[in-house]
Amino acid sequence: MEEKERRPQGSTLGWLMGQAGEHRRQYALSVALAVVGVAFSVAPYFVVARIVAALMEGRRELDFYLLRCAVMALLWLGRVLCHALSTSTSHRATFAVLGDLRKQGTEKLSRMPLGAVLEESSGALKNTLIERIDSIETTLAHIVPEFTANLLVPVLVLIYIFAIDWRMGLASLVTVPLGLACYAMMMLGSAGFYERTVTATKNLNETAVEYINGIQVIKVFGKTKHSYERFVRDANEAAHSYIDWMRSSILPFTFAMVIMPATMVAVLPIGGLLVRGGSLTAEELVQVIILSVGVITPLVTCMSYSDDLRTMGTIVGEVRRILEAPEMRRPDRGSAPESTELRLEGVRFSYKEQEVLHGVDLTVPAGSFAALVGPSGSGKSTIARLIAGLWDVDAGRITLGGRDIREIPQEAYADRVAFVSQDNYLFNMTVRENIRLGRPSATDAQVEEAARKSGCHDFILGLEQGYDTVVGASGAHLSGGERQRISIARAMLKGAPIVILDEATAYTDPESEAVIQRSVAKLVEGKTLIVIAHRLSTVADADILYVIENGAVADSGTHEELLSHHGLYEAMWRAHMAVKDRAQQEEGAAHA
């Protein structure tokens, strides 16, 4: 999709600091503590240099050396304390920021058009909102304070070495160009390698989720071996994407780690020549040698974050792509009209760049019963989802009480509409909690009353724990008809004045369908009702029927009017009645 190709603009670190918000002070404190901690870790080298100089001068006072040893011990303790405080401060801030990012991500999905969300697999979304956000922890909690401090302090030490003797300062930097060259070789192709790991990890997540969700079909059709092979293939690709990347970079990384800190390679011979020539004292050489050794640890620490630095942009980009994706256009404040009249005026809508609705016009008067009928794939469910506010139209408009629904706050509009689809989702919670989602403030008594009205109270009492029975992931512990009736109970509890039923009886047997029909009759009393149905007999008494064909309204009218038009509806009705008569004959033959 178009949003998917859009690259986030601006600095990665700048964006992260923008997300830090009120926690930026904690990061500033963490960096300050880290700088002090690294300074404490380098300071003992100055003390050692002074001790060596004193030994060369012939000083023998024990107190002099004991005092400096005590100072080094205190500096070491200070370094440990500052590091601990810096790390704990940055982690407290980071986990709060990551929690906020996950909340933003889940809230963002609810504000995005349904089509944009459905284009991403659940495995890929889970990977971004969990693993990718989790990967940002290293950047915020470690790189920000530790990389900054471990880079700053060696720079300050090198400035001090230059102050002692500029030639020794240059000697201390001799290995840097070679180390950087090795580092550059390691970075070659890293973008491609990391992109491969991102793709491979996504594919593995998608395959794992698909395998788990489709395990019943896999078992029934004996595809276990084939499906397992696919999972193994994706797992191997995910593993080798990292292995190949590491294999390509291990040698240059090793050379960079060995060469960059090898300051003694130039400091010792050049310093020795300068001392021999009399332009540098032995004490100064010793001090330079010791300080050059002191900057090795911070430099190695900086280089250890190389992998995290080169992947940071991609990781953050994955998260930003969701957080910065276009949202459905809705105001933040306002209320919905009291009128429940719905109109679609010249509505056009495309899915994956293919237009599926072509200028749809229809009206549902307030308090009326309207039905959408037509062949599979004609666009009926798309119209229902547009009316429910799950997508935005590409052209034209949908109005409620004369107002464009895009001018109504999303929450206010959602309060006016109850939507029950053929695949309504039940969460892995109790039956009671699933019904209460319709109105979170409802009491247990109100939940049970809604269940009675929807005809599912008796079967709920027959469950092992009654209303406290956990329904399983996606309601897997219940039958299709039971799930549908609970969904209707949820809609009934909501009490919205507009009810949309998208194939509400699709998964039910005739007996359950009769129960649901009675439930729906109670649910929609005095309300505006829109029903999508393949079983035309269930909507024959609608106030108005719209025949949808190829993404447009082919005909409209009452049941009798449409039959008199001798068009598509009449053909569908005859086919429906033929199937119904055949089923009754077969049932009669079975009882004979």
Strand 342-351 versus strand 417-420 pairing type: unpaired
* Residue 584: band (very low, low, confident or very high) from pLDDT cuts 50, 70, 90: low
**What angle do the packed helices 190-213 and 306-323 form, to 10 degrees?**
50
**Per-residue tokens: 59:** 């000083």
Q: Is 72 a member of any domain? A: no
Query: 163: which 2 tokens?
Result: 């102050």
7-11, 255-259, 406-410: range with lowest mean pLDDT:
7-11
Q: Predicted confidence band at 10 (pLDDT cuts at 50, 70, 90)? A: low
Mean pLDDT of 442-451: 90
CA distance 83 to 88: 8
Q: What percent of the chain stands above pLDDT 70?
A: 87
pLDDT digits (tens, 9 = 90+) for 58-111: 888 889 899 999 999 999 999 899 989 999 999 999 899 888 998 988 888 888
Separation CA 393–CA 349 (nearest Å): 5
Q: What is the pLDDT of residue 150?
A: 79
* CB-count exposure of residue 438 (10 Å: 0-12, 13-18, 19+): buried
Q: Which of 146-160, 185-199, 384-398, 473-487 has the highest mean pLDDT?
A: 384-398
CA-CA distance, 83 to 145, in Å (whole number)? Answer: 10
Question: Which residue, chain included where needed, has tokens 């933040």?
Answer: 332
In a domain, 414, yes or no: yes
287 found inside a domain: no
- The pLDDT, as a whole number, for residue 6 is 46
What average pLDDT does range 40-49 have in this prediction? 86
**Tens-place pLDDT, residues 245-279:** 888 888 888 888 788 778 888 888 998 899 888 88
Mean pLDDT of all residues belonging to the chain: 82
Evaluate if residue 38 carries a pLDDT over 90: no
| 3-state SS class at 56 | helix
User: Is residue 116 very low, low, confident or very high in pLDDT (cuts 50, 70, 90)?
Assistant: confident
Instruction: Give the model's pLDDT for residue 346.
Output: 93
Instruction: Quote the pLDDT of residue 507.
Output: 52
pLDDT of residue 1: 40
Q: How confident is the model at residue 215 (pLDDT cuts 50, 70, 90)?
A: low
pLDDT, residue 241, reads: 85
Res. 146 pLDDT band, cuts 50 70 90: confident
Residue 509: phi and psi, rounded to 5, are -85, 170
Per-residue model confidence (pLDDT) at position 69: 92
Mean pLDDT of 182-197: 77
How many Cβ atoms from other residues are within 10 Å of residue 55's Cβ? 12
Q: How high is the pLDDT of residue 5?
A: 42
Range of the structural domain that residue 477 is part of = 343-591
Residue 23 has pLDDT above 80, yes or no: yes
For the chain, the farthest-separated pair of C-alpha atoms sits apart, in whole angstroms, at 122
Q: In the chain, how many domains are there?
A: 1
Q: Report the CATH number at residue 495.
A: 3.40.50.300
pLDDT digits (tens, 9 = 90+) for 302-326: 777 766 766 777 778 788 888 888 8
Q: Please choose, from the candidates 394, 387, 354, the residue with its C-alpha nearest in 3D space to the C-alpha of residue 531.
A: 387
Give mean pLDDT, residues 333-348.
Answer: 89
- Residue 3 has a pLDDT of 40
Asked if residue 4 belongs to a domain, the reply is no
521 or 20, greater pLDDT: 20
Question: Mean pLDDT over residues 384-410, rounded?
Answer: 90
HSE-CB at 131 with a 13 A cutoff on CA atoms is 13
Concatenate the DSSP letters of all residues of 366-426 into one string. TT-EEEEE-STTSSHHHHHHHHTTSS--SEEEEEETTEEGGGS-HHHHHHHEEEE-TT---
For residue 468, pLDDT beyond 70: yes
Say which residues have a Cβ less than 8 Å from residue 265's Cβ, sequence separation at least 6: 174, 175
Report the distance separating Cα 381 and Cα 364, nearest Å: 16
Domain membership flag for residue 354:
yes
| CA nearest to 474, candidates 486, 462, 456, 491 | 486
| Residue 292 predicted with pLDDT over 50 | yes
Q: Does residue 374 lie in a domain region?
A: yes
For every residue of 76-114, which 3-state class applies, written as one string? HHHHHHHHHHHHHHHHHHHHHHHHHHHHHHHHHHHHCCH
CA 505 to chain centre: 33
Q: pLDDT by residue (tens digit) across 501-541? A: 887 655 555 555 566 666 666 667 778 989 887 778 778 88
pLDDT surpassing 80 at residue 300: no
pLDDT of res. 4: 40
What percentage of the chain has pLDDT greater than the value 90?
15
Q: Is the confidence at residue 244, as pLDDT, over 80? A: yes
In a domain, 103, yes or no: no
For 135, residues 6+ apart whose C-beta sits below 8 A from its C-beta are: 311, 315
Residue 462 has pLDDT above 50, yes or no: yes
Does the residue 530 lie in any domain?
Answer: yes
Q: How much is the average pLDDT of 391-402?
A: 91
